[in-house]
Amino acid sequence: MGRPAALPAPPSDPVELLSTALPRSGLTAANLLRRAGIRLGWYDLRDLLFHLPRRYDDLRELCRLGDLVWTAEGTVVSARVRVDDIQVEASFRRRIQRTVARLSDETGQINATWFGRRYIERRLHAGDWIVVSGRLKRFGRDLTIDNPEFQAVEGDGDVLHAGRIVPVYRLTAGLTAARLRVAEREALDRAGQAYPEYLPPELLHGEDLIGIAAALESAHYPPSFEARDAALRRLAFDELLALQIGMVGRRRERGRERAAPIAIDDGSERRIRLALTEALGRRLGRTVELTSDQLSAMSRIRTDLAAPTPMLRLLQGDVGSGKTVVAAHALAAAARAGYQAALLAPTDLLARQHLETVGALLAELGIDVLLLTGSLRPADKARAHELIASGQATVVVGTHALFSEAVSFARLGLAIVDEQHRFGVQQRGQLEAKAGGRTPHVLLMTATPIP
């Protein structure tokens, strides 16, 4: 889930550049964030706010050291402890610095060990009180906490790295988890509460959604998993709403364009549906029946394809919900009507997976599927170009190689784009331009964002 598209920008603060907007991070940290942002695709506070955690670790329960017992390798524990001593030594096996801190509370003592983190001894001092969270390990007869996260206990300040539900983000070279959590906290303090609500109150109430400012706060630092779920539900709703609004606008534009009607009679449609169901059953090793949602989607797509205006429809569903067989139904309809159809995938691996799956489904109908990716050998690629240009290849599965100037379709009537969010409008337009004088029908497929 990413930042919603085409939503109004908040006031000036959220769009400030990272290198100037996070003064508490310091110049070095701000520069690291700027460089990391280039690699991760964000440059300002708004981008940072919508860089959401990929998971959450529950480190809320604080243990007493005297109660710790060995249960299993990798058990994560959290505790409020005092730093009694800290030692830095070289590992005898590798030239990696090892830092060992002796920690205690009123019930016992334990060692915490870090490898290769040279900043630890500068941040920890004897007498400090900290909240520490890490994996419990055995060292001889003793227990240790391995490479833990920690944070000093200072007044009423937020504890970000331990003793709470801790966000875990996608990182890049030079950007540590702790540094990014601090930056996210600063971004929320500086701009999160200023983010204006862009949904009307009646929509929020009708859909039982929380406000955007509360959603951003709880998406990064949830007080509970219930609050996290409410936040992610709101952000997923926004993403789907923005996607649907964009689809409506694009569909209105396409209403003025012309497409070749792709119509099949009822008998052909039943034969296609029966063949796909039988092929799917053989792949799964059991009898299958298409769901009501699949049948409804097939019916709507068939109606759209038969119109003289180009279809632009979004096929949306969870992974494993059966989108591929619906797409195969549309591909078969186009091929049976005498048109070519292309299925565009974002990666070579996914294209080959589609070749295997769709190829097996359409083989029942005697329809061959051609693969065109950038990794093909030159001779195979040239042969694929010939088959596409001549119209002998009726169904083509490919990657960005389909955009190549060397690719020319004889009668492209349908383009299906999988994981459509990974392709820009311009890229989809390049594929549509290969249909000659008429705009092809377009079916976009995407997985449902999961709150």
**How far, in Å, CA of 402 to CA of 415, rounded?**
11
Please state, for a pLDDT cut of 70, what percent of the chain lies above it.
80
The yes-or-no verdict on residue 366 having pLDDT over 90 is: yes
Distance separating alpha carbons of residues 89 and 87, to the nearest angstrom: 7
Residue 451: pLDDT over 50: no
Would you say residue 386 has pLDDT above 90? yes
Q: Give CA–CA dist 291/125, Å, rounded.
A: 63
Q: Is the pLDDT at 5 greater than 50, yes or no? A: no
Q: Residue 3 pLDDT more than 60?
A: no
**Whether pLDDT at 11 is above 80:** no
Instruction: Please report, for residues 399, 404, 408, 423, 429, the alpha-carbon distance to residue 433 in angstroms, rounded to integers and kept in the order given.
Output: 16, 12, 10, 15, 6
Number of neighbours of residue 258 by Cβ within 10 angstroms: 12
Buried b (16+ CB within 10 A) or exposed e, 307-345: eebbbbbbbbbeeeebbbbbbbbbbbbbbbbebbbbbbb
Question: Average pLDDT, whole number, for the chain?
Answer: 82
Does residue 147 come out as left (phi exceeding 0), alpha (psi in the -120 to 50 range) or beta?
left
Q: Rounded to whole angstroms, how far apart are CA atoms 278 and 192?
A: 53
Specify the domain boundaries for CATH 3.40.50.300 within the chain: 258-447
pTM for the model stands at 0.52
Q: Are 427 and 399 in contact (CB under 8 A)?
A: no
196-223 tens-digit pLDDT? 899 999 999 999 999 999 999 999 999 9
Instruction: Write out pLDDT tens, residues 301-350.
Output: 999 999 998 898 889 888 778 899 999 999 999 999 999 999 998 888 88
Question: Does 78 have pLDDT greater than 90?
Answer: no
pLDDT computed for residue 205 by the predictor: 94
Q: Give the torsion through C-alpha atoms of 65, 69, 74, 79, to 10 deg.
A: -20
Q: How far is CA 145 from CA 73, 77, 109, in A?
A: 11, 8, 11
| pLDDT of amino acid 22 | 52
Look up residue 27 and give its two tokens. Answer: 């110049």
Q: Of 310, 176, 181, nearest to 255 (Cα)?
A: 310
- Assign 230 a pLDDT band (cuts: 50, 70, 90): very high
Q: In which residue ranges of the chain is CATH 2.40.50.140 found?
A: 61-163
Q: Is the pLDDT of residue 32 over 70?
A: no
Task: Name the strands in the sheet holding 340-344, side by side, starting at the edge strand that comes first in the sequence.
Answer: 312-317, 441-447, 412-418, 340-344, 395-398, 369-372
Please tell me which residue, 398 or 97, carries the higher pLDDT value. 398
Domain 258-447: assigned CATH number = 3.40.50.300
Percent of the chain exceeding pLDDT 90 equals: 38
Q: Which amino acid is at 342?
A: A
Distance of CA 399 to the CA centre of its chain: 19
pLDDT tens digits for range 112-141: 988 877 778 888 888 888 888 888 888 777
**pLDDT of 175 strictly over 90:** no
Taking a C-beta distance cutoff of 8 angstroms, is the pair 250, 314 a contact? no
**Predicted pLDDT at 420:** 59
CATH 3.30.470.20 assigned to domain 61-163? The reply is: no
